[in-house]
Structure 1
């Protein structure tokens, strides 16, 4: 077995810079992002749904937040780091407050990362019906209606506990009908695809450009014994995809969602739903305008902390 080394790049910045910096890291090819935000220490959601792990206060900054990003260690890393530094510094011309804008690096072995998750990631109820359970934990249902998703985050970092994922899960619960066909664009660790099947979908087609996410989501799909219900492929959003489904769900950055709207329209059945999440408040109206101009009707918007999700519907004969 080949053990990979990963570069952990930590960027101490601000909430204002969170989305543009994360977008830069994604475009350059990060294999995962973790946000260490001191607001996590006092979020009410832990009291509502249940704690994931005990947070170590000493790892959180007193001001701003820390974005941790992971890249495979190779001989091009120094060049990659310089590109990241230049692009982030370039954000100043757009009057984005970068705060301390301090970058540090460390080397993390893959097995060390996995062991760290096993120490801290515990079962967590993320909606009224869905509980996320790590693959190494034993867990018994607390009610007959409870739905269990078994997850091994690996290097895709998706545990289902982020506000944008919870918003997506809640939206799926509202609109999904038995035997629906679903697309999950930006599948990550596969949580939304698995949830869709457990909620009644007949089949889910999952797409992600990141090969690490594709591998992780396939592993989680198989751990939940849903090989026949979920098809996963590497793809750039919905480019060259031509299917008709009842629901498309996408939990990615707002700027990328803007590029997805037209293809989502073309792949939805009439009256189908387009669920989007991963949107900061400042970008909400841009996406709503794009949805409306394309012919969608915005059914509802929901907010969790500083994040927004939108449920839109493809109206019959609206174009």
Structure 2
């Protein structure tokens, strides 16, 4: 299958706005590629290199927001609309930076192969190791191994937002919990919950490709009896209540989830909300106040924040 990759070189400040533009144009997910992530990871005690440094020597300074469009009749029109809307961002006082927009045709097989040069085993939190299915790794005592092949779904564990979610899951997961993973992507967070002792996990994603990849990753990790993947928009396909609800998306969608979260979170449950760029943190906190949601803890890593929330 052929896809068109759209890549925007910008600033941290503009990531949220550009991500929204891409989502509204119909991409299945958005990836953030930031050279600063590599520097942060290398400074963390106990971490190891998971990306070939030679690759990053070729990357210009700046943050890249990346999305993938399937080949459709109106593809050119969509891309032109995206370019125009991104150009208009500066009118709202947002620093767009370089603002360069490039597109590349890519086949799914080529994309998956190219990912392998970037993606190596990485330890997150206390005991979670994310391991590509094609890599060898000898586990150490106490470690829980998550086998992952991201395919063209997003969520590899290398981004701060995913790391923050996993740290919260390790802290708050109880054996036998029911977990809802909203915007599951590759399934990484739901699979982590299953490995940490959840008795039931429901992963939801609107993108059919993400659903396919997540189901494959569930099988890789042999948690089919625990984790179910459903295709749908946010919580539309969920009837259950979770002890933990985790959503690693973007600030606007998290704020949207606040309006309905009480239907899907048990009274003493935990809502882990991530994917929040620091420039939108105050907006999310204000939305919590309006919906009478209590902030238990806030974690920050790089330019990103994650919140642990309960029903007040």
Query: What corresponds to 2:175 in structure 1?
Result: 178
Q: RMSD in angstroms over aligned alpha carbons? A: 1.7
Query: What corresponds to 2:187 in structure 1?
Result: 190
Task: Tell me how far 1:74 sits from its aligned partner.
Answer: 3.1
In structure 2, what is the Cα distance between the partners aligned to 1:37 and 1:270? 38
Shift in CA distance, 207/190, structure 1 to aligned 2, threshold 3 Å: same
For the residue of structure 1 that corresponds to 2:179, the secondary structure is strand
Query: What corresponds to 2:69 in structure 1?
Result: 71
Is the CA contact (8 Å cut-off) linking 1:12 and 1:100 kept in structure 2? yes
In structure 2, what is the Cα distance between the partners aligned to 1:31 and 1:269? 29
For the residue of structure 2 that corresponds to 1:255, the secondary structure is helix
Q: Does 1:227 align with 2:224?
A: yes
In structure 2, what is the Cα distance between the partners aligned to 1:220 and 1:214? 10
Q: Does 1:99 align with 2:97?
A: yes
Task: Tell me how far 1:66 sits from its aligned partner.
Answer: 2.4
Q: TM-score, normalised by structure 2?
A: 0.94
Task: Tell me how far 1:164 sits from its aligned partner.
Answer: 0.2
Query: What corresponds to 2:307 in structure 1?
Result: 310
Q: Does 1:139 align with 2:141?
A: no
Is the CA contact (8 Å cut-off) linking 1:239 and 1:263 kept in structure 2? no
Task: Tell me how far 1:185 sits from its aligned partner.
Answer: 0.5
In structure 1, what is the Cα distance between the partners aligned to 2:118 and 2:95? 32
Is the CA contact (8 Å cut-off) linking 1:37 and 1:60 kept in structure 2? no
Shift in CA distance, 269/46, structure 1 to aligned 2, threshold 3 Å: same
Alignment equivalent of 1:21, drawn from 6, 14, 18? 18
Alignment equivalent of 2:280, drawn from 279, 283, 288? 283
Count of equivalent residues? 310
Q: TM-score, normalised by structure 1?
A: 0.92
Is the CA contact (8 Å cut-off) linking 2:7 and 2:103 kept in structure 1? yes
Query: What corresponds to 1:242 in structure 2?
Result: 239
For the residue of structure 2 that corresponds to 1:30, the secondary structure is coil
In structure 1, what is the Cα distance between the partners aligned to 2:270 and 2:249? 17
In structure 2, what is the Cα distance between the partners aligned to 1:179 and 1:45? 35
In structure 1, what is the Cα distance between the partners aligned to 2:196 and 2:211? 22
Alignment equivalent of 1:126, drawn from 124, 127, 142? 124
Structure 1: which 5+ runs fail to align? none
Query: What corresponds to 1:263 in structure 2?
Result: 260
In structure 2, what is the Cα distance between the partners aligned to 1:220 and 1:44? 25
In structure 1, what is the Cα distance between the partners aligned to 2:122 and 2:198? 23
Is the CA contact (8 Å cut-off) linking 2:37 and 2:160 kept in structure 1? no
Query: What corresponds to 1:86 in structure 2?
Result: 84
**Per-residue CA shift, 1:5-43, capped at 9, x if unaligned?**
111222122221111101111221224433332323422
Query: What corresponds to 1:7 in structure 2?
Result: 4
In structure 2, what is the Cα distance between the partners aligned to 1:40 and 1:266? 36
Is the CA contact (8 Å cut-off) linking 2:169 and 2:193 kept in structure 1? yes
Task: Tell me how far 1:163 sits from its aligned partner.
Answer: 0.3
In structure 1, what is the Cα distance between the partners aligned to 2:105 and 2:74? 15
